[in-house]
Each structure stands twice: as structure tokens, then as C-alpha cells.
Amino acid sequence: MCIRMGSHDADSPHLKALLLRAATDCAMTAQHWEALAQEHGQELYAEALHALTRLEMPPQDARECLLAIVSHQGELRAALKRNITLLTAACDYFAQVRPLLHDPILVEVRLLQHKEECAYRDELTGLFNRRSFNQELPREIERFRRFGQPFSLLMLDLDNFKDFNDTHGHSAGDQALQDVARILQNTVRLYDRTVRYGGEEFAIILPQSSAKEAGAMAERIREAVSRHQVLYDGQNLGPTTISIGLACFPKDALDMAGIVQCADKAMYQAKAERNCVRVYQDANRSHPRYVLSAPLPLRILSRKHGTVQASALDLSLGGLSCNADAALPTSTQLHLVLTDAARSIRLPLLAQVRRVRQTATNTFQMGLSFQLENVEDQMKLMALLEGRSLDDDSSALHRPHAATA
């Protein structure tokens, strides 16, 4: 049995050891599991179920399933009058009670771990691969939702790599990729996730890193790569250089596709000059805007102009656009409260009118700006956005739910 917890999760070494022993445990009750989930989050159920069966389920479904297995374990113990491990109960449960595993096989855990490690590693460089990246990045986003831990993403691309291959051959190109991979591993922190994204492109997930910290890391990488001489077949082929793009979550994006796109755009800006680092910047706005799937009712309070009824059309971490039944002068300071009763969210904001435009229906469209002073407020706004936002392509990001403001 193995656990796919991130190396920097909030769980303690004691918890990891406990989960590793869970498969052969005969005494953990539903109350034990519930207490662990209260302390470490509902994702614990999904991790434990995956460790037992390699089934992927959302936390709520995994909770229902795991507790059903624990109950089944008790029934088997009573019927057979002997201790039954959780793993044995899971096998019987999925074979007889809820047949989700149709052709299960027994595999020695060390062999399974080796095969899974190979599945998530790039054969040439030994770095994590794109499959691992696609699993780890959503987890970082979830960590922000749970713990308010921002992170940064670097996208890196070797400069003129096709010319290098054409000049020196693909085997020499492989040597250059291996050298760069080793430099990356030696430069980043132990809990950073370094990935061969594809071809000569790499990615690095930097947990709990601000733009300033990630930029310093990117510069160290760029300098280390540019100083390195590629040696192949007894020849010194000279240095290679690398272009790096940087984006931060949640400052630059609020979902996986968005953060990758922002880092990618910054990387292509860097490649226009080569051998440099570029931080993502949107010339039109400082935060990504998310269009709401349905207008969100707002009550705007202005000391000078009274109460204005409005409906928010889009939201970002730095402001919103709304339709209102009356216009407020630009620069007006006002108060508004965003609430979501279903999630027990109440977010009071001090805002300012930035622009006003009269519509064809004699209402007014206003742009309001505000500043979220702390991570907790950012987390609240992200939670409120869930279920009510559409991305720029108008595809649903999350399941709709009721909200009022």
C-alpha cells in the first residue's frame, strides 16, 4: 500500500505512517476515520481509498465508500469470528457488495510502487512527467482553497534547441536535456515539483512562493544553465540557455488552465529575447476576470448617495463589473458585502467606482475596484466564485449553486 500525499501536505509524519498501516489494520473504526478527516481534511478519504484500491473518487464519494468498507469489515469480523484487515474487507466489499473491481489481481506492493514510479517519471531525465504535473497542479490549487497557501509556476524552454540538435545530433541533445534536468533538481527546494513538460520544455511548481521568491529562483536557474558547458563524446559543445516564464496563483489565475496559460505567455515573452526571465503581466487588468453564469444581486452602500441596487456580471480578485439602477460618480468610495449563504461566506469590501457607462436600457454599468487585504479574503472570494463563474470561453468552471449578495 502506498499513499500519494504531496511531500509538503499539512499531514504529519505520524499521519502518513498511520495511513501506511491502515491496509493491515483490524481495529480502526468509523469514528477514528472521522476524527482524522476533521483534523486533516476530507481529501484524506480519497487518498486512503486510492491507497487501498487505486480507485479515484471525489472526497465525499470516497468517504461514503471507505466508511462502508469499515462497516463491512465489522460484519465480516462478527461472521467469521476473527480479525479482518481493512484490505481484506475492501477486496470482499468490491467483489461481493459493490462490484467496482471486476478483475482484481494480487501484486506485491514494492512491484506496484516501482511501476507507478516509472509511470510518473520521464525516462530520459528522471524528472516527473506531464501526467504527474496534471495531478499535482490541481492539488496545489486545492491547498490554497483549504490552507490559503499561494504558489508560483515556472515554465522553462531551452533556447535554439532545434539548432543544437541539428548541429550536434540528437544524442548530444539528450545529453543537454539530462544536464539541464540535473541543474534544475540541484537548484530547486526539496518540495518543489520539477517536471519535463514535453520536448525541451520544463515546468516547476513552487509551493508557498511569492512572485519575488519565484523570480529569484528562476534567475538562479537561468544563471546556472547559462554557465554550464555541455560535454558529449569527449567534446565541449558549449553552453545552452533557457527562457523562463513565471505566473502566480491566485494573483494571475484561479484555475489550472489559467495558471498554465499565464506562465506559458510569460515564457514566450522571454523567448523573444532568450536567456531571460519574464513575469506574467496583463496589460488590460491586474487580475483575471471571471464572468458569472448568472447575475449576482448586490446592495451597494454609499454614505453620500445612499443605497443602490445592482447585479454583478463578473468578478476578479481586484474588482467587479455590475449593472445598477443608478449611476455613481467615478472615484466614489462605497461599501458592499458579498455573501453566499450556502457556504456561510460573508465578505465585506471597501470599493471605489472606476468607470460608469449608461446602457441602451437606461441602466448603468459600473466598474468597481477593491483590494483584498489578506489571503483569507482571497479564499472567501474564490469559494464564492465556485459554481457561479464561466471562463473567457464561456465554459462552466464549477457546479452551480445558489448564492446571494
pLDDT of residue 397: 35
Residue 190 domain flag = yes
Quick one: 249 and 163 in the same domain? yes
Quick one: 145 and 267 in the same domain? yes
pLDDT > 90: percent of the chain? 44
How many Å apart are CA 28 and CA 191, to the nearest integer?
A: 31
Higher pLDDT, 387 or 320: 320
Quick one: 137 and 270 in the same domain? yes
pLDDT of residue 95: 87
Residue 206 domain flag = yes
Read off the pLDDT of residues 125-136 as tens digits, 9 standing for 90 and up: 999 999 999 989
Number of compact structural domains in the chain: 3
Higher pLDDT, 399 or 207: 207
How many Å apart are CA 202 and CA 49, to the nearest integer?
A: 31
Helix/strand/coil percentages in the chain, nearest 5: 40, 25, 35
**Which of 279, 305, 328 finishes a domain?**
279
Read off the pLDDT of residues 240-277 as tens digits, 9 standing for 90 and up: 999 999 999 988 888 899 899 999 999 999 999 999 99
**Which of 279, 299, 321 finishes a domain?**
279
Q: Which of 308, 387, 391, 300 is nearest to 345 (CA)?
A: 387
| pLDDT greater than 80 at residue 137 | yes
Quick one: 44 and 161 in the same domain? no
Quick one: 104 and 163 in the same domain? no
| pLDDT greater than 90 at residue 178 | yes
| pLDDT greater than 60 at residue 291 | yes
Quick one: 175 and 257 in the same domain? yes
204: domain CATH number is 3.30.70.270
Q: How many CA atoms lie within 13 A of 347 on its CB side?
A: 27
Quick one: 55 and 141 in the same domain? no
How many Å apart are CA 365 and CA 356, to the nearest integer?
A: 6
- What domain range includes position 114? 13-119
β-bridge mates for residue 339, sequence order: 346
| pLDDT greater than 60 at residue 90 | yes
User: Dihedral angle at the C-alpha atoms of 233, 234, 235, 237, nearest 10 degrees?
Assistant: 60
Higher pLDDT, 11 or 357: 357
* Segment 383-403 mean pLDDT: 46
pLDDT of residue 224: 97
**Which of 279, 300, 323 finishes a domain?**
279
Residue 402 domain flag = no
DSSP state letter for 343: G
* Segment 155-184 mean pLDDT: 96
| pLDDT greater than 60 at residue 7 | no
Grid cell 479574503 — which residue?
377
Residue 218 domain flag = yes
338: domain CATH number is 2.40.10.220
pTM over 0.75: no
* Segment 136-147 mean pLDDT: 86
| pLDDT greater than 70 at residue 13 | no
Residue 162 domain flag = yes
pLDDT band for position 394 (cuts 50, 70, 90):
very low
Peptide bond into 250 cis (omega under 30): yes
pLDDT > 70: percent of the chain? 88
Higher pLDDT, 27 or 106: 27
Residue 65 domain flag = yes
| H helix or E strand, kind and range, residue 298 | strand 290-302
pLDDT band for position 301 (cuts 50, 70, 90):
confident
Q: How far is CA 290 from CA 55, 180, 201, 391, in A?
A: 33, 37, 29, 6
pLDDT band for position 15 (cuts 50, 70, 90):
low
Quick one: 199 and 252 in the same domain? yes
Q: Give me the sheet containing 193-198, strands edge to edge.
A: 193-198, 201-207, 151-158, 242-249, 277-279
Residue 8 domain flag = no
User: At residue 41, what is the residue type?
Assistant: G
pLDDT band for position 17 (cuts 50, 70, 90):
low
Read off the pLDDT of residues 349-368 as tens digits, 9 standing for 90 and up: 899 999 999 988 888 999 99
Candidate from 199-208, 210-219, 325-334 with smallest mean pLDDT = 325-334
* Segment 375-385 mean pLDDT: 82
Quick one: 297 and 266 in the same domain? no
Residue 274 domain flag = yes
| pLDDT greater than 90 at residue 292 | no
For 41, the grid coordinates are: 481534511
How many Å apart are CA 234 and CA 165, to the nearest integer?
A: 17
How many Å apart are CA 2 and CA 152, to the nearest integer?
A: 28
Tell me the CA end-to-end span of the chain in Å, nearest whole number: 47
